[in-house]
Every structure is written in C-alpha cells, then in structure tokens.
Amino acid sequence: METSEEPGRREQNRLRTHNALVQAATRLFQEQGYEATTVRDIAAAAGVGERTFFRYFPSKESLVVQQVRETIPLLAAAIRKRPVEEPPLVALREAVLDLATWHHTTPAMLLVGPQPLSPDLTSRGGRFILFDLEEAVVGAILDRSGIPEPELPDRLRAAALGRAGVAALRSVRLTYSRLPEAQKHDVDLIELVRIAFAALGV
C-alpha cells in the first residue's frame, strides 16, 4: 500500500535529478563550451543515464531555454529588491551580479548555448523568451518607480531603459559566445557585464 509520503519523496527525487542535470550542464558549458558538451556528458556528470536526461528535457537546447525562463522571475524580483535611490540600469546591473553571487554561477541568460534570447527559435518558449525577459525587466523598473498609474512618458522611459539593459546582457552573451573556446576560460563574465553597462553610461 502506497503511503502519503511516497509522492512527496518522488517529487523531491525528481527535483534533485532536475537540479543535478542543470548544474552539470552549467558547469560543462562553462568548462568545455556548449557545442562540445553532449547530452551523454551532462547525464554522466549528473550521475544518471541518457534516458533519464530525456525524461526531463527533450534536448540540450531545451535545458538552456528552460533555465533562462526560470531565471527571468528571479531577476525581476532581484531588481525590485534593489535600493530605491539606484537608477534603473544600476539596479538591473546589480541584480544580475546578485544572481551570479546567489547561484555561484553566471545567470543562465549569459551562458553559451543556442540563442535562447533570440526571437527566431522554433519553439514558443524560445521564440518569445526575449520578449518575456524584456517585459519582466520593464515591469520591475516601473514597480521600483513607485508611480501607481504610470503615464505614457513614464512607461516609455521604463521600456527604453529596460530594453537597453537587456541589450547589454545579450551583447555580453553574444560577444562571449564568439570567442575561441581556448580564450573563454580566461574571461570573467562578471567583468564583461560591468563593461557592457558602462557603455550605457552606468
């Protein structure tokens, strides 16, 4: 007879396996590059078989896209928690750096992979993920403004700032992804984030 605790244990085991796969993929992408990392590599590093990997993710690309999507609300929440006196782009930059500290890794949107921030992916998740990220950042910037019913100029300013900040993050990711694999190990992505935002005057 199945006890009421067993479904809870199964869910905990599923979560552990899911997290192990994501963490293994993140580490391998950073160590050996996205293209050179196979599903077999990720599964082995997570201590599971390839079949188990495919129970959680249809492909290597879907793992990256899902990780990006799971990061979006975390980033929006981190922006809202920044001090009110910080300008919007400073708050976004510091929120990204905070995420890197909390997760002990680079936020998923900066990882080498397919183009999860490009609107031309065939899946709905990939096709709209850039828009979703921009909307989340813009919404967080508006929330920080404290304006209960922002008018058109306020919404436009938030939209311009939010999308400029996301463009800076995309620039980091694309610039890093185009480096030769041999050079990537010596590059500090956190410093690249600072350089990109400095180009916006932050």
Give the pLDDT confidence score for residue 116 in this predicted structure.
47
Give the pLDDT confidence score for residue 104 in this predicted structure.
56
Residues 6+ positions from 190 with CB-CB distance below 8 Å:
97, 100, 106
What pLDDT band is residue 115 in, cutting at 50, 70 and 90?
A: low
pLDDT in tens, 127-168: 578 889 999 999 999 999 988 899 999 999 999 999 999 999
What pLDDT band is residue 122 in, cutting at 50, 70 and 90?
A: very low
130 and 83 in one domain? yes
Residue 49: give the domain boundaries. 1-57
- Considering 33, 57, 81, which residue would you say is the last residue of a domain? 57
Give how many domains the chain has, as a whole number.
Answer: 2
Name the amino acid, one letter, at 38. T
124 and 108 in one domain? yes
Average pLDDT over residues 177-198: 86
176 and 154 in one domain? yes
Give the pLDDT confidence score for residue 89 in this predicted structure.
97
Q: Per residue, what are the HEC states of the chain?
A: CCCCHHHHHHHHHHHHHHHHHHHHHHHHHHHHCCCCCCHHHHHHHHCCCHHHHHHHCCCHHHHHHHHHHHHHHHHHHHHHHCCCCCCHHHHHHHHHHHHHHHHCCCCHHHCCCCCCCCCCCCCHHHHCHHHHHHHHHHHHHHHHHCCCCCCHHHHHHHHHHHHHHHHHHHHHHHHHHCCCHHHHCCCCHHHHHHHHHHCCCC
53 and 85 in one domain? no
What pLDDT band is residue 173 in, cutting at 50, 70 and 90?
A: confident
pLDDT in tens, 35-87: 789 999 999 999 999 999 999 999 998 888 888 888 899 999 999 999 999 99
Give the pLDDT confidence score for residue 168 in this predicted structure.
94
98 and 14 in one domain? no
CATH code for the domain in which residue 10 is found? 1.10.10.60
96 and 156 in one domain? yes
Whether the CB-CB separation of 29 and 177 falls below 8 Å is answered with no
Instruction: Count the residues in the chain.
Output: 202
191 and 102 in one domain? yes
- Considering 11, 42, 57, which residue would you say is the last residue of a domain? 57
Residues 6+ positions from 7 with CB-CB distance below 8 Å:
none
Lowest mean pLDDT among 121-125, 149-153, 162-166, 170-174: 121-125
104 and 40 in one domain? no
109 and 79 in one domain? yes
149 and 99 in one domain? yes
Give the pLDDT confidence score for residue 113 in this predicted structure.
52
Give the pLDDT confidence score for residue 166 in this predicted structure.
93
125 and 36 in one domain? no
- Considering 9, 39, 57, which residue would you say is the last residue of a domain? 57
pLDDT in tens, 104-113: 556 655 654 5
72 and 34 in one domain? no
